[in-house]
């Protein structure tokens, strides 16, 4: 996946992305680290076409993102949301199978008539993320936050994507559950050979799971390198004055 000279400014607002260029290699786990308002979510949303860029381009698996290629590209991308993005009226299994929606006729979606191959893959993925047979037919409303995010990971992987986007996927979870969910996301994506582009604000989690950290501040990349190179000076560049006010769960141990 490549992002070249991405620029975005919202109406009458500041520049959210300023000539951002980034390349994500297959199978890598890349964390976009930054404070709230740094442009992390806008960057991820631009990759999947949810936020059109003012300038620049996005290329996924060799195909340039455009209105003509948007549907095809979305089939190769999985998305894990901060708020889980699940439908409360559907069961666990139905939420996972809904990830195949871009490639299915509308009548199948309306009737929840998924092909047997999709049903089998959903069950296999749910088992992979640690949910058992007694849980897959339950409404997601009865699950804990950590379990819901496991469902979200299974859904993101249902189409065997080449790229998984995870937008603050553990922001609402306690520290131990957050650690477990990120470990699961990394392992499951690697098994499928998918790259992960994950936005986080937690420094310790970024260091623990990333192969590469991209520090974003005010829409500009101010750091790009392996976790071991993320020094105190680099953290100050990424977070600025906010660095002094980070909670213990976010700050460096």
**What is the rounded CA–CA span in Å between residue 207 and residue 104?**
39
pTM of the model: 0.90
- Best CA proximity match to 40, nearest among 202, 228, 158: 202
Token couple for 102: 């871009």
Q: What is the pLDDT of residues 102-153, one digit of tens each?
A: 777 788 877 888 889 999 999 999 999 999 888 899 999 989 999 999 999 9
pLDDT band with cut points at 50, 70 and 90 for residue 253: very low
Query: Of 11-25, 157-171, 234-248, which range is least confident?
Result: 234-248
Angle 145-151-157 from CA coordinates, rounded to 5°: 140
Please state the φ and ψ torsions of residue 142, each to the nearest 5 degrees.
-90, 5
Class at the top of the CATH hierarchy for domain 1-76+163-253: alpha beta
Residue ranges covered by each domain of the chain: 1-76+163-253, 89-160
Judged by DSSP in three states, 8 sits in: strand
DSSP letters, 51-82, are S--SEEEEEETTEE--TTTHHHHHTTEEEE-T
Q: What is the pLDDT of residues 147-200, one digit of tens each?
A: 999 999 999 999 999 999 999 999 989 999 999 999 999 999 999 999 999 999
């Amino acid at each position: 996946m490549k992002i070249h000279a991405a620029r975005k400014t919202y109406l009458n607002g500041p520049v959210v992305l300023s000539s951002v260029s980034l390349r994500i290699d297959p199978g890598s786990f890349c964390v976009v680290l930054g404070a709230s308002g740094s442009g992390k979510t806008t960057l991820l949303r631009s990759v999947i076409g949810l936020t059109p860029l003012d300038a620049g381009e996005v290329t996924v698996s060799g195909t340039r993102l455009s209105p003509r290629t948007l549907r095809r590209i979305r089939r190769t991308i999985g998305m894990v949301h901060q708020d889980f993005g699940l439908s409360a009226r559907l069961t666990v299994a139905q939420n996972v199978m809904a990830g195949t929606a871009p490639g299915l006729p509308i009548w199948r979606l309306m009737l929840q008539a998924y092909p047997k191959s999709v049903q089998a893959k959903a069950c296999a993925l749910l088992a992979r993320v640690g949910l058992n047979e007694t849980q897959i037919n339950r409404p997601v409303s009865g699950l804990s936050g950590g379990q819901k995010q496991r469902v979200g990971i299974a859904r993101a992987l249902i189409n065997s994507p080449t790229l998984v986007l995870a937008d603050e996927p553990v922001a609402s979870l306690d520290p131990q559950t957050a650690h477990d969910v990120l470990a699961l996301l990394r392992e499951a994506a690697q098994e499928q050979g998918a790259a992960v582009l994950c936005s986080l604000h937690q420094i310790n989690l970024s260091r623990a799971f990333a192969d590469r950290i991209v520090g974003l501040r005010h829409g500009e990349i101010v750091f790009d390198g392996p976790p071991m190179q993320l020094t105190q000076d680099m953290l100050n560049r990424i977070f600025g004055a906010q660095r002094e006010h980070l909670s213990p769960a976010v700050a460096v141990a």
